[in-house]
Structure 1
Amino acid sequence: MDVKLAFLHGDLDEENYMEQPEGFEVKGKENYVCKLKKSLYGLKQAPRQWYMKFGSLMSQQGFKKTSSDHCVFVQKISDARQILGMQIVRDRDAKKLWLSQEKYIQKVLCRFNMDNAKVVNTPLAMHFKLSTRHCPSSDGEKEDMKKVLYASVVGSLMYAMVCIRPDIAHAVSIVSRFLSNPGREHWNVVKWIMRYLCGTSSLSLCFGTGKPILCGSTNSDMAGDVDTQAKLIAAVEACKELIWMKRFLGELGCA
């Protein structure tokens, strides 16, 4: 797991002072210093103070520190079915396990008022051609986009992508390029991804001992080339890749 700005959560046992940050000096008290109540990045004791804080919180939650690695905390939970926004379904007889984020995705869609959106069947449509020219150029456009929770939505999509939804990886990587200055067209693509998730929230990853099944999709756009038989070329390239992958897995004894 990861914690944002981890070292800033540590409590200090000693007295530490720092100069006032540049640009934040108190008028008339420029020679004063600040007493630190929390640790900062760069302090020698910051890693240890964060570890002490983290360890105490984990202990309160019922986790125990392992003796072989003091950075690993464990807790045995009987019949655990949900962790970090993921639901777990296990069929021991069939030797299969399913991971789903249906509840998490539905929660995200509800948060951004997309739970009743019109469903689409692809994570990214061909007619979207995003670039920096879609970024706001006027003050009015920039003010308008400040009302949009672009970064929050993309961050939520990233979590789903990393956990069990690799099918949206390409689309999320595209919209992530414009986090610093997104425009309305970029936002339309983000909403398109959520519309796709609205119709596929129940999808799950299955892990088991069965024979692997190769699945894939093709890019029939060919980088926007309008002078070629794009769909045919894309299908041929996909088939070549599929044949190679099947042969490769066969040599590994997996197919």
Structure 2
Amino acid sequence: MFGNDISMMTSVKLWLSKTFLMKDMGNASYILGIKIYRDRSRKLIGLSQSLYVDKVLGRFQMEHSKKGFLPVRHGIHLSKSMNHKTPEAVIQISRIPYASAIRSLMYAMPCTRHDISFAVSITSRYQSNPGSEHWSAVKTVLKYLRRTKDMFLVYGGNPELLVEGYTDSDFEYDVDDRKSTSRYVFILNGRAIS
């Protein structure tokens, strides 16, 4: 629970404790693997998934890789034509946990890592038949996460609610289907929320 009315929160906790078996454990420090940082004096709250990112990097043997500067390398345009066609190459790429890596990235993306959403949306298109270039693009995202794993989202500090929205589109970005791609970001008090 959270809120500004302490007396109301106390009465709700009292009612809940009479209705359900519960224990008040104080302030939450983790929720679903997300670390919560608080700075009450400046009215800030921060969210971090650094432990989750460490687990993901370990699962895909990327914990000692080079640290990436960007989640997507400039000028990379993935397509279905980059898939492997020979039976030997298909067997080799089937040993790579491509779909598992994409799922791991998709878990972090909506919670605290909005910065990788474009890269994940591009690489997730090729889960059924990835090629080595596709896997290289996923490893680029993992390298970027290695460099930025200790960063976290910070909310608060401004008493007014200021919502901003931005959008971008690219005509025929998808090389395979020639479909347009559009993206958006909504910002609340200077922090990305969607």
Output the TM-score relative to the length of structure 1: 0.54
Separation (CA, whole Å) in 2 of partners of 1:171 and 1:80 = 31
- SS of match in other structure, 2:35: strand
2:140 corresponds in structure 1 to 192
What residue identity is the alignment partner of 2:128? S
Residue matched to 2:75: 127
- Determine the structure 2 residue equivalent to 1:233: none
Q: Does 1:180 align with 2:111?
A: no
Deviations 1:131-170 (A, max 9, x none): 0001121211110111101111111111110111000000
1:74 positional shift? 7.9
Q: Which position in structure 2 is the counterpart of 1:107?
A: 55
2:37 aligns with one of 86, 89, 95: 89
Aligned pair partner of 1:161 in 99, 109, 122 = 109
Q: CA deviation at 1:79?
A: 2.5
Which amino acid in structure 2 is aligned with residue 178 of structure 1? Y
The gaps in structure 2 that reach 5 residues or longer are: 1-15, 174-185, 190-194
Post-superposition shift, 1:213?
A: 11
Alpha-carbon distance in 1 for matches of 2:97, 2:44: 38
Q: Which amino acid aligns with 1:196?
A: Y
Work out the percentage of aligned pairs sharing the same amino acid.
Answer: 37
User: Per the alignment, in what secondary structure is the counterpart of residue 96 of structure 2?
Assistant: coil
Change (3 A) 1:129 1:82: same
Greater RCO (Cα-Cα under 8 Å, separation 6 or more): 2
Question: Structure 1 CA distance, aligned partners of 2:121 and 2:22?
Answer: 33
- Whole-Å separation in 2 of the counterparts to 1:169 and 1:75: 37
1:118 partner letter: K
SS at match of 2:42: coil
In the superposition, the TM-score normalised over structure 2's length comes to 0.70
Instruction: State which structure, 1 or 2, has the greater radius of gyration over its C-alpha atoms.
Output: 1
Higher strand share: 2
Deviations 1:35-65 (A, max 9, x none): xxxxxxxxxxxxxxxxxxxxxxxxxxxxx89
Give, as a single letter, the amino acid of the residue that structure 1 aligns with 2:95.
K
- How far apart are the structure 1 equivalents of 2:71 and 2:139? 10
Residue 77 of structure 1: how far off its partner (Å): 2.9
Partner of 2:119: 171
Counting matched residue pairs gives: 160
Deviation at 1:76, TM superposition (A): 4.2
The CA distance in 1 between the partners of 2:125 and 2:23, in whole Å, is 38
Alignment of structure 1 residues 141-160 onto 2, 5 Å: 141-160=89-108
